[in-house]
Amino acid sequence: MTLEEKVGQLFTTRVYGETADTAESSAVQMNRSFLEVDNAAQAIARYHLGGFVYFAYAGNTRAPDQVADLSNGIQRVARGRRLGVPLLLSVDQEQGAVVRLGPPATQFPGNMALAAGRDVAAAGTAARITGQELRAVGINQDFAPVADVNVNPANPVIGVRSFGEDPELTAQLVAAQVNAYQNAGLAATLKHFPGHGDTAVDSHSGLPVISHTRTELDQIDLPPFRAGIAAGVDAIMTAHIVVPVLDSSGNPATLSHPILTGLLREELGFDGLVVTDSLGMAGVREKYGDDRVPVLALKAGVDVLVNPPVMQVAWEAVVAAVRGGELSEERLDQSVTRVLRLKWRRGIVRSPYADTAALPHVVGTPEHLTIAQRITDQTTTLLRDDANALPFAADARVLVTGWDDPAAPTTTAALGAALTEHGRAVDVLSTGVQPTQQRIDAAVAAARTHDVTVVVTNRAPGDQGQLALVRALLASGARVVAVAVRDPYDATGFPQVPTYLATYVFNDVAMTSLAGVLTGSIQPAGHLPVTIPDPDQPGTPLFPFGAGLTTT
């Protein structure tokens, strides 16, 4: 391999367009802005790339057949190059809150919901099916599972992406998913090392500092990573976080030799692929320029550089660092070897293409959808029903209101439709992402004409409009059932609510399960994987870890 070919293998970047050779004007314009080429095929030729990461916003994941054609087109271009090395095609398909392939691909409830179900086998099944469907469309690496232990209710970036606050439970579920993903032929990727669970800063927009002691790291943050390594995980993603007890330099973990080489490689014994979180995030760009970040990451122990903000700048910086002696050829070869070894071990070299004829028999099959619903039915968590509002009477007139997905108002509609299927008379009044006073007034007026009102919330403590909506509904005298459809901590904004449930996710399978619980056809079986603090009594739980009621 030439130097340029070796350097290229260490880069995974996004690319815009539905096909490898897209000529669609908006995709071409976006690609030129940071890749300086028109499409994926040209990017492979220019940079000798080792991989791409797919995003819905980049137009990569519109439909299973389109994704398979994109993957096959990319791999045909790579196969036609001098070396013929296929690419790692990656995606963040965590399920739940972070999904790149939507329906008809099977949708599962996400990590915190799976932890609420307390079923390790179910978590493995969800990963196995997800892995099979991703592999079917030509994707061979998933940036999952999340191994962070979410011990901070104010965490703005992890939350329900985590399995919860218990390191042992998280470790069990992480190991199960690693095995399942990789048995399905997919490279699993733990994230975000050494643990992003105790921060109130989003590393997309700032640089978090984790103040844990080494003892706390060993007891809280590291057990899931140790379990994943013991399970043979292929890759680990770095976090753009500062951990002073591990590295006093102020460098984020992504650029820290003591963390990536000292702790991860030497102490934990990991010899798989170390990949960065996106290099376009603020957390890794605060201290150094975009030309220095990729070089420092490789010096720290990284193997794969993900999503640099300007590809040409990053690629040329690494080439120059090797030619100038800052990075040795031997160090470069270590990372290239790990990349090639993974591509060989996961069968990507032997079989890089998706079988498009097999798609209908793998992606979103009736069997997969049934399994997903059955798993989700065990995750809905009832935390309080002091008003004995559940189950809804057969003749109850039900209002569904509250938060809805900004992309499309589907959450309240899906819940309304599911309740209707259970024979309830339902009206739906979405109040959007941030309710205005006009919408709040309309919801309160509607609540007075219904027997029960279900108000859906999503991260309500940070949204005065949502808090005002729930409080106004409670003050109206209406019978109110509040449901947190993402982080279960929403109750801290309205601790007096008499009936409160958590679904941990707002997709259709979760709303179907919720409707079953509200109408009594499904028993709530979930148990909290986190502690919800009492806002009025610091240090006291409003709902403790493990809380969960039944309706009988």
Question: Is 328 a residue whose pLDDT tops 90?
Answer: yes
Distances (CA, A) of 402 to 55, 187, 454: 28, 39, 8
| The two structure tokens encoding residue 156 | 């703005």
- Per-residue pLDDT band at 326 (split at 50, 70, 90): very high
Q: Looking up tokens 């992406």, which residue turns up?
A: 161
> Catalytic residue positions?
204, 277
Give me the pLDDT at residue 420, please. Answer: 98
Give me the pLDDT at residue 408, please. Answer: 61
Give me the pLDDT at residue 6, please. Answer: 98
- Per-residue pLDDT band at 202 (split at 50, 70, 90): confident
Could you tell me if 270 and 240 are in contact, meaning their C-beta atoms sit under 8 angstroms apart?
A: no
Please tell me whether the peptide bond between 224 and the residue prior to it is cis, using omega within 30 degrees of 0: no
- Residue-by-residue DSSP string for 89-153: EEE---BTTB-SS-TTS-----HHHHHHHT-HHHHHHHHHHHHHHHHHTT--EE---B------T
pLDDT tens-digit profile of 531-542? 999 999 989 999
In angstroms, the CA 548 to CA 551 distance is 10
| The two structure tokens encoding residue 24 | 């669609």
Of 126-135, 197-206, 472-481, the poorest mean pLDDT is in 197-206
- Residue-by-residue DSSP string for 205-253: TS--B----HHHIIIIIHHHHHHHHHTT-SEEEE---B-TTT-TT---G
Residue 67 CB contacts under 8 Å (≥ 6 apart), including other chains? 54, 60, 61, 101, 137, 138, 139
User: Residue 21 carries which DSSP code?
Assistant: T
| The two structure tokens encoding residue 467 | 């808090």
- Per-residue pLDDT band at 136 (split at 50, 70, 90): very high
Q: What angle do CA 10, 11, 16 make, to 5 degrees?
A: 160
CB burial of residue 527 (10 Å; 0-12, 13-18, 19+):
middle
pLDDT tens-digit profile of 230-247? 999 999 999 999 999 999
> What is the dotted CATH code of the domain comprising 379-543?
3.40.50.1700
Residue 482 CB contacts under 8 Å (≥ 6 apart), including other chains? 455, 457, 470, 490, 491, 494, 497, 499, 500, 501
How high is the mean pLDDT of the chain? 96
The number of helix segments (H) and strand segments (E) in the chain equals: 19, 16
In angstroms, the CA 101 to CA 93 distance is 7
Give me the pLDDT at residue 410, please. Answer: 84
pLDDT tens-digit profile of 399-442? 999 999 766 668 999 999 999 999 999 999 999 888 999 999 99
Average pLDDT on 31-37 reads: 96
> What is the domain partition of the chain in residue ranges?
3-361, 379-543
Would the pTM count as exceeding 0.85? yes
Average pLDDT on 163-191 reads: 98
Give me the pLDDT at residue 4, please. Answer: 97
In angstroms, the CA 215 to CA 46 distance is 47
Question: Is 283 a residue whose pLDDT tops 70?
Answer: yes
At residue 20, what are phi and psi to the nearest 5 degrees?
-70, -25
Residue 530 CB contacts under 8 Å (≥ 6 apart), including other chains? 112, 150, 153, 164, 165, 488, 489, 545
- Residue 249 CB: number of other CB atoms within 10 A? 12
Average pLDDT on 38-56 reads: 98
Task: Work out the angle between the directed axes of helices 222-230 and 167-183 (0-180°, nearest 10).
Answer: 30
- For the segment(s) 3-361, the CATH number from 3.30.980.10, 3.20.20.300, 3.40.50.150, 1.25.40.340 is 3.20.20.300
Give me the pLDDT at residue 147, please. Answer: 98
Average pLDDT on 392-396 reads: 97
Give me the pLDDT at residue 204, please. Answer: 87
Give me the pLDDT at residue 535, please. Answer: 94
- Per-residue pLDDT band at 10 (split at 50, 70, 90): very high
Give me the pLDDT at residue 97, please. Answer: 93
Question: Is 278 a residue whose pLDDT tops 70?
Answer: yes
Average pLDDT on 95-117 reads: 96
Average pLDDT on 21-32 reads: 97
